[in-house]
Every structure is written in C-alpha cells, then in structure tokens.
Amino acid sequence: MMRFHLRLIFCFAITSLPFTLQAQVCQHDDTTFRCVKVLKNYDGDTLTVNIPNVPALIGKNISVRVSGIDTPEVKTKNGCEKEAGKIARNLVASTLRNAKTVELHNVQRDKYFRILADVIVDGRSLKEILLKNNLAYTYDGGTKKHPDWCKVLRQPANH
C-alpha cells in the first residue's frame, strides 16, 4: 500500500511540474508582462493581447502600442502609405504567428492612456524588426513625421 501511495505522489509531482514551471516563467513585475498571448494586430504598431495572471479588466483584449515608433496607416487615402501599412501589418502578423514567447517590457501609458511597451518576440524587438525593414520611423509621441512612403517602398530593407 505504501508503495502505491509513493507512486501516486510521484505521478502527481511529475504531472504538476509543467504548471509550476510555467507559473514561475510567467511572473510579471511593475513594467514587464510575460507569456503574453497576441490575439491580433491591427497594423504595424498596434496589437490586441491577453495578459495572463492579471485581472480581466486590465489583462483581456487589451490594446498595446509598440513604443518608440510609428508605422504607416492602413486606413488612409494615400495609396503608398496604405500599401506600406499593409506590408507592415503582414510582417508583424508573420513574426507573431509562430512566436514561442511574447513579452511586454517597459510598460507605461501613452497620452491617450493606451498601453505603450517594448514588444519582445522570441527575444527580438518588434520595433527593431520594423525599423530594419523601413516600415516604421522613430516616434516619441509628439508631432508625427509624414514620410514619402512611395519613396520608402522603393528603398531596400536594411536586413
């Protein structure tokens, strides 16, 4: 009988180990959320996410903007900007599609009270991916630049 109980305890310990490890990996702090689940990306710099282990009011279906950049708009009358916006959106979607980990670092609120964060996908900065592909420009929240997206689309990416 004792042997049966030991086996039962061993099986329970082994089966609960992944949950214990995930709980440790998904620990958040004041400015970092781990194990984020991306639901969709609206464009190149706006995602909708679920953040585990936080109340639903602040962790479910939350809009997040990528910090430090602006990407071309997908809803605009400017044809080149719209095309660049779709390319940026598709690049982000493909980057996120097979991601093993997504984390939000340096989380804060922007001037419209949206979540603003450095989005890290499998250890790589989403901001840097977009900048290297000429699909974003640096933006500090002030006056927006209005690049000539037709010209930008003709330039090779900085892989």
Q: Is 3 a catalytic residue?
A: no
What's the token pair of residue 74? Answer: 């997908």
* Cα radius of gyration (the chain): 20
Q: Which of 3, 81, 114, 128 is the catalytic position?
A: 114
Q: Is 65 a catalytic residue?
A: yes
Q: Is 73 a catalytic residue?
A: yes
Q: Which of 3, 34, 73, 97 is the catalytic position?
A: 73
32 CB neighbour count, 10 Å cutoff: 15
Q: Which of 65, 81, 89, 103 is the catalytic position?
A: 65
- What is the set of active-site residues? 65, 73, 114
